Amino acid sequence: MHALEIRNLSKSFGSLKAVDDVSFEVHEGSIFGLIGRNGAGKTTTIRMMMNIYMPDSGEVFLRGNRIGPEIKNIVGYLPEERGLYPKMKVLETLLFFAEIKGKKSKDLTKKAKDYLERFDLADRINSKIEELSKGNQQKIQFIISIFHDPEIIMLDEPFSGLDPINTNLLKEIVLENKRQGKIIILSTHLMDFAEKMCDHLAMIDHGRIILHGALSDIKSKYSPKNVSLNYEGDISFLNNHAIIDNISDFGNNTGIRIKEAGQTQELLRLLVEHNIKVKSFVTNDISLQEIFVELAGKHPAEEMNHA
Amino acid sequence: MPNYKTLAIIKMELHEKLMSKSFISMTIIMPVIMLGIMGMQSLIVLYQGDKGSHVEILTESDSLKAEFQNGFAELDFVKNATYRLGFDTVSRENLKGYIQNKKPELLSHKLNAIIFIPSKALEDKQMEYYSNTPGNITILEKLKDPINEVLIEQYFSTKNLSEKEIIFARKGVNFSHFKVSEKDEMQEQGLGNTIIALVLTFMIYMSLIFSGTMTMQSVQKEKSNKIVEVLLSSVSSRELMTGKIIGVTITSIAQMIIWILPVLALKSTSWFVLPGKMTIDISYGHLIYFLINFLLAVLIYQGLFATVGAIFDNHQDAQTAVMPIIMLLLIPLFIAMSMMRNPNNPLAVISSFVPFATLIVMPARFALVDMPVWQLGISILINIATLSAIFPLAGKIYSVGILRVGKKPTWNEVVRWLKYNY
């Protein structure tokens, strides 16, 4: 039995089909990535999984049981767009959001203090939210999503706007929760993070799932004939070369797809011949980004910039 | 029945509204503003600006002139020098020349008016009034009655009548107002109830506008701040809206009770002795009905205001869209005001049974007119029906609107939201 099972979810808003027959499973104790461009249908899917939206059709099962409104009590949600009550104090905020999850006890204040300590916010416990910096507000928002000890943690673009130190802290806590057996769903358009953190993922584009499964399976399925290259020099001679199928340049890293599996040695020889300084040359490796480009036909990063 | 989630929202609303400094200041300041507006209005209307008026009264004979001089000497506005009066005699033939002479003074307003009282006025009371601004009725309003009294006295003085008869002739008519009701004894009724009705109507109106606007802003802020995203991962939109509205309703009722405490004090204690003209005939039944009606009014209008707040993500759009709701409050207010002159006017009677309008018109009618209790019952039933009709719709629009961002929706789209499956 899967921890969460999403079966044939569809949702339209007027004439717009936001989510179209989406199905995937989330495994116990793993981090699940829901990836796709902005507007692909991630947030709508997540909202249906939390019973905020009623699906037009389809169902969501939690450990075999159809979900209802009670799922809200065991879910912790960090929405992409952050927002808190500006006039409320930090401690009040944490306790209020715990209370509407049905958590109310004396220990919560102590627990709040522990979390604030961990996020280096202990001295701000009685500050108003509006007095905190944006980064600190974001940390509060993250604490809210895990404070009531939820079984399912849904994080929508959790790392956006965080500095490297806090990003690491967040990652650490997410992994800690994973070890405790929590179901973690990470929604992001940043393929990099998804690739580093997720065990399973589903790619969504124009409301449809275009790929899903374990990250390792997906990679091994798409990686043959693919070389991940890090280099210095000019490789433009490879464009339109007979053995090359496709080149995806990501700046520091370049993904090269060759036409036949046996042509990797040939590619390496060409690079050496043209005096390219090869820093790394990994065969049978592919980035999530490349897979996405191949499937969705568009560059997610580019889309992002134009959004 | 509200569950613990709704209760948590109610608690937060109360914490934010009822326990806030702004509640205390609004509760005190609002009546002050209200009385200020009402007081200012009557001050402006009553302000005559006739202080220092200079008027000449011309007669054709010295004897008549002397009568006017004597008769006017005792008038308050002459004694305290608000008016400066001059007396002179001039014949009908010379009047034109006299006025010609005075023209510069009349034009420069050093002299405000000349009143010519010919001897013939003792037969037909026909007089002439010369001024640069003959449309100004303030001076005439003030002098009309004293002139009439002098003429009457003069007329009857040759008729050999007793003082008593002359006093009778001088008197105007005067009514005492008695309310005939189902009660056994007839009571003399003064202006008290009219004033109370006016004040209560105004209080309902102001309270609904203020609390409604506050709700609308707080909903709209939650939406534009995106707090609602987190809230809805914990509570349903119905629980959220219900909690909010109940919180505001409790706050408004508390405020209203504080406001009507003085009325209660006037009614139940003898600390304040009201002059006979101002006696208040309001029963506890009136006050209970008033509070029930107010409770329904707050619920209904909060629903409307919250819905508008949820539809729009920016303040300006919401402000524009809320105009029809304000009209829904303003028109009944005007109708209620029209009742102060004639409580039985048909517009008021009809609108006291029209949804929305009845919330404001009926309590005013109840204070002014004796009406059968069944009519109040019908009004309450109409309100409950209104409430149960708009709440499902408002809740639906709220739940769709609150998570919707981007382009400003048209009313057509909003109507289409009603069909969404949320």
Span B226-277, pLDDT tens digits: 889 889 999 999 899 999 999 999 999 998 998 888 777 777 666 555 565 5
For chain B, how big is the Rg over CA atoms in Å? 31
Any domain includes B389: yes
Question: Using CA atoms, how far apart are residues A194 and A208, in angstroms rounded to an integer?
Answer: 19
Which own/partner pairs from A251-256 qualify as long-range (CB within 8 Å, at least 24 positions apart)? A253/A228, A253/A229, A253/A287, A254/A228, A254/A229, A254/A230, A255/A226, A255/A227, A255/A228, A255/A229, A255/A286, A255/A287, A255/A289, A255/A290, A256/A226, A256/A227, A256/A228, A256/A229
- Closest residue to A53, CB basis, from B228, B413, B422: B422
Check if B225 contacts A (Cβ < 8 Å): yes
Give the distance from residue A302's alpha carbon to the nearest chain B alpha carbon, in angstroms.
Answer: 22
Contact B234 A47 (CB under 8 A): no
Model pLDDT for residues B196-238, shown as the tens digit of each residue: 788 888 889 988 998 899 899 889 888 888 889 889 999 999 8
Check if B16 contacts A (Cβ < 8 Å): yes
Check if B280 contacts A (Cβ < 8 Å): no
Residue B190 has pLDDT above 90, yes or no: no
Specify whether B328 is located in the same domain as B409.
yes
Q: Which residue has the higher pLDDT, B329 or A297?
A: B329
Q: Are A172 and A198 in contact (CB under 8 A)?
A: no
Q: Tell which of B143, B170, B197 closes a domain.
A: B170
Residue B51 has pLDDT above 60, yes or no: yes
The position carrying tokens 């592919």 is A286
Specify whether B381 is located in the same domain as B316.
yes
CB pairs under 8 A between A and B: 66
Contact B4 A102 (CB under 8 A): yes
What single string gives the DSSP state of each residue in B167-204? HHHH-------EE--SSSS-EE--SHHHHHHHHHHHHH
Model pLDDT for residues B105-151, shown as the tens digit of each residue: 888 888 888 999 998 888 888 999 998 888 878 888 888 888 888 88
Task: Residue A82: list chain B partners with CB under 8 A.
Answer: 226
Chain B, 387 to 416: residues with Cβ < 8 Å from chain A are 403, 413, 416
Q: Are B255 and B206 in contact (CB under 8 A)?
A: no
Specify whether B161 is located in the same domain as B306.
no
The position carrying tokens 């209203």 is B256
Length of chain B counted residue by residue: 422
**Substitution target from B11, B19, B230, B400 for chain A, most A beta carbons within 10 A:** B230
Contact A50 B233 (CB under 8 A): yes
Residue B280 has pLDDT above 70, yes or no: no
> Is this prediction's ipTM beyond 0.90?
no
The position carrying tokens 């107010």 is B294
And the tokens for B234? Answer: 């914990």
Per-residue exposure over B199-216, b if at least 16 CB sit within 10 Å of its own CB, e if not: bbbbbbbbbbbebbbbbb
Residue B283 has pLDDT above 60, yes or no: yes
Tens-level pLDDT at each residue, chain A (307 residues): 788 999 999 998 878 889 999 999 999 888 999 998 888 899 999 999 998 888 999 999 999 999 988 899 999 999 988 889 988 999 999 999 999 998 888 889 999 999 999 999 999 999 999 999 988 999 999 999 999 999 999 999 898 878 888 889 999 999 999 999 999 999 988 888 888 899 999 999 999 999 999 998 988 888 888 888 888 888 888 888 888 888 887 776 788 888 887 888 888 898 888 888 888 888 888 888 888 887 877 544 444 433 3
Any domain includes B215: yes
Contact A73 B234 (CB under 8 A): yes
Chain A, 142 to 161: residues with Cβ < 8 Å from chain B are 144, 154
**Substitution target from A12, A74, A100, A104 for chain B, most B beta carbons within 10 A:** A100
Q: Are B211 and B298 in contact (CB under 8 A)?
A: yes
Question: Using CA atoms, how far apart are residues A11 and A57, in angstroms rounded to an integer?
Answer: 7
pTM greater than the 0.90 cutoff = no
Residue B278 has pLDDT above 70, yes or no: no
Q: Quick one: pLDDT at residue A299?
A: 47
CATH of the domain at B132: 3.40.50
Any domain includes B177: no
3 state SS of B66: helix
Contact A79 B226 (CB under 8 A): yes
Q: Indicate the burial class of B4 (C-beta count within 10 angstroms; 0-12, 13-18, 19 or more).
A: middle
Contact B234 A52 (CB under 8 A): no
Computed from CA positions of residues B312, B231, B395, B257, in that sequence, does the dihedral angle turn out positive or negative? negative
Position B176: which residue type? S
Q: Tell which of B105, B137, B170 closes a domain.
A: B170
Contact A83 B235 (CB under 8 A): no
A143 half-sphere exposure, CB direction, 13 A CA radius: 29
Fill in the DSSP letter of residue B132. S
Any domain includes B71: yes
Task: Residue B235: list chain A partners with CB under 8 A.
Answer: 72, 100
Specify whether B221 is located in the same domain as B158.
no
Any domain includes B47: no
Chain A, 190 to 229: residues with Cβ < 8 Å from chain B are none
Q: Quick one: pLDDT at residue A233?
A: 85
Any domain includes B42: no
Position B187: which residue type? Q
Check if B230 contacts A (Cβ < 8 Å): yes
Residue whose C-alpha is closest to residue B117's, from B130, B135, B104: B130
Specify whether B297 is located in the same domain as B359.
yes
Q: Are A214 and A199 in contact (CB under 8 A)?
A: yes
Contact A102 B5 (CB under 8 A): yes
Specify whether B211 is located in the same domain as B152.
no
Any domain includes B179: no
Specify whether B260 is located in the same domain as B339.
yes
Check if B3 contacts A (Cβ < 8 Å): no
Could you give the number of structural domains in chain B?
2
Residue whose C-alpha is closest to residue A4's, from A28, A22, A20, A21: A28
Which residue of chain B has the CA closest to A148? Answer: B234
Residues whose CB is less than 8 angstroms from the CB of residue A295 and which lie 6 or more positions away in sequence, other chains included: A203, A205, A210, A211
Q: Are A291 and A255 in contact (CB under 8 A)?
A: no
Question: Using CA atoms, how far apart are residues A87 and A194, in angstroms rounded to an integer?
Answer: 35
**Substitution target from A12, A15, A52 for chain B, most B beta carbons within 10 A:** A52
Q: Quick one: pLDDT at residue B184?
A: 62
Q: How far is CA B84 from CA A8, A126, A264, B77, B261, in A?
A: 94, 71, 117, 9, 48
Q: What is the largest CA-CA distance in chain B?
A: 97
Residue whose C-alpha is closest to residue A107's, from A155, A163, A147, A62: A147
End-to-end CA distance of chain A: 39
Specify whether B213 is located in the same domain as B334.
yes
Task: Residue A52: list chain B partners with CB under 8 A.
Answer: 232-233, 403
Residue B388 has pLDDT above 60, yes or no: yes
Specify whether B250 is located in the same domain as B322.
yes
Specify whether B222 is located in the same domain as B156.
no
Task: Residue B231: list chain A partners with CB under 8 A.
Answer: 100
Check if B238 contacts A (Cβ < 8 Å): no
Asked which of A249-253, B10-14, B79-83, B336-340 is least confident by mean pLDDT, the reply is A249-253
Alpha helices in A88-133 (DSSP H): 90-99, 107-118
Check if B20 contacts A (Cβ < 8 Å): no
Work out the average pLDDT over B23-34.
80
Any domain includes B27: no
Owning domain of residue B112: 53-170
Task: Residue A85: list chain B partners with CB under 8 A.
Answer: 225, 227
Work out the average pLDDT over B17-33.
80
Task: Residue A14: list chain B partners with CB under 8 A.
Answer: 413, 416
Q: Are A186 and A198 in contact (CB under 8 A)?
A: yes
Task: Residue B12: list chain A partners with CB under 8 A.
Answer: 96
- Closest residue to B226, CB basis, from A47, A83, A86: A83
Q: Tell which of B170, B202, B221 closes a domain.
A: B170
The position carrying tokens 């699940």 is A32
Specify whether B59 is located in the same domain as B195.
no
Specify whether B269 is located in the same domain as B198.
yes
Give the rounded distance of the alpha carbon of A47 from its chain centre.
15
Which residue of chain B has the CA closest to A69? Answer: B236
Which residue of chain A has the CA closest to B12? Answer: A96
